[in-house]
Structure 1
């Protein structure tokens, strides 16, 4: 039976691959070192290592110990690797929604649970991590061709549960860049929008959230896709980006995609208003609502 990739199995695989590459070992070289003097039934195959590095295979504690020893991994990092191995198949609350969302959306939630930082860029709607329930229901309901009406409530539940991560002690912060258009588009009617904008003025006071608005006066936006860049606690993890475009939602881990989205985020942040002026603009838009 094929194993499902999880964020932790992918992180474990990515860290092991980078450690192997830093040691300038091929997969065959590493397998040779790990299997030295080991009986046949306890050996690690190159095929298994390859699947392990992509998050599609699991590894026993003993095998991980031997791999870490062959790669000369220090004790502290070994603890991190073992924690990822142990939790790779841990069932998360997000799996309750697997029947109504794609695997990429499910993976998005799991990524958010492990990430310690997030940087978002949105030009169509307010970032999902900052949406009120009424606003979220209106946004989800607008996608009538893709979302069954009976699932709107559950999808809104899932979105709000994602937001709980923002208040966890080990979460360092969300920096959100959003267009003025996202603030001025009256989603769900004036009452829903009033509640949403009011929430944006309050959330920055109590959670590690910073909001920067790209005003219309900034001119052309640096990109049209909406995305979130997630950062993890260990330098070997690397960033992961979730891109939400008009046609698809995808998760990218390759350096080129992450680099491109990082550039777009940095360019947007450079054009955006400072945090205090952004709050002034949000309040001004709020006052203009009928």
Structure 2
């Protein structure tokens, strides 16, 4: 099998999960490969995602590692042998790799939970709002780069429009709702879009009002992507220096608690729509 020139975050995650499984079994790379007629170098290349791995090989490795968690094995098998390139691959070498990893993560998630204090959810943004946000990037982006990022952001939203759409919960602070990115008219259309989207059964928008109690979080955007099994959950953090993906068990547990606590201080869905509607009305003027 040819060596990959680059691996996606999903491919790297598969290799990392196979390594965890081997380490839990107490096997070295050499010991892991011996029953399969595979040498230590091949096991290391699979771990590093330099080589692809077939479904049969994943099942064989699972048996060799004495893993009895069939749900986990089946989920890992589902991550192998994907020959079809995702739509995000058309942006490779055009956009930062972290943006491609984010689109791939959202595409494969079985549910999404997100929290935003200073920004509106990317999956609920209008093109004109997104365009204004990208115009504020430092250092400045060229007009073609801005349009590439806008089109990528809008295509990510397909997970909410599919025949079997991904359940999505977005917790948004009132501060983000009141920022007039692009002016009052653009902001008004953006808020109306969020209101319209929140009427869908699979989309849940919760607002944290200004008068809410204190809540955890440093202000960075958080996306929690639920995997087919809990071991394959992933947290995506959007920072000023780029995307960060977290998947250690302790990290996942921490962010589940953070999101749970944010939901306890957020308004219910009806109250949240009332706040969004009130902010939108204020933009219309007297």
TM tier relative to shorter chain? 0.7 to 0.9
Instruction: Give TM-score scaled by structure 1 length.
Output: 0.85
Describe the shift of the 1:21–1:170 C-alpha distance in structure 2 as closer, same or farther (beyond 3 A).
farther
Unaligned runs of 5+ in 2: none
Aligned equivalent of 1:254, options 226, 239, 248? 248
How far the C-alpha of 1:175 sits from its partner, in A, is 0.8
- Cα deviation per residue 1:109-165 (whole Å; 9 max; x = unaligned)? 111111111111111110101101111111111115142222212211110100011
Taking the aligned partners of 1:61 and 1:114, their CA distance within structure 2 comes to 17
1:16 is matched with 18
Taking the aligned partners of 2:222 and 2:253, their CA distance within structure 1 comes to 13
Instruction: Give TM-score scaled by structure 2 length.
Output: 0.86
Taking the aligned partners of 1:245 and 1:162, their CA distance within structure 2 comes to 19
Describe the shift of the 1:214–1:159 C-alpha distance in structure 2 as closer, same or farther (beyond 3 A).
same
1:1-290 superposed matches below 5 A: 3-21=5-23, 23-35=25-37, 44-60=38-54, 63-64=57-58, 66-71=60-65, 80-87=75-82, 90-206=84-200, 208-223=202-217, 224-237=219-232, 239-289=233-283, 290=285
Describe the shift of the 1:213–1:15 C-alpha distance in structure 2 as closer, same or farther (beyond 3 A).
same
Taking the aligned partners of 1:180 and 1:81, their CA distance within structure 2 comes to 39
Describe the shift of the 1:169–1:56 C-alpha distance in structure 2 as closer, same or farther (beyond 3 A).
farther
Describe the shift of the 1:11–1:249 C-alpha distance in structure 2 as closer, same or farther (beyond 3 A).
closer
How far the C-alpha of 1:233 sits from its partner, in A, is 1.4
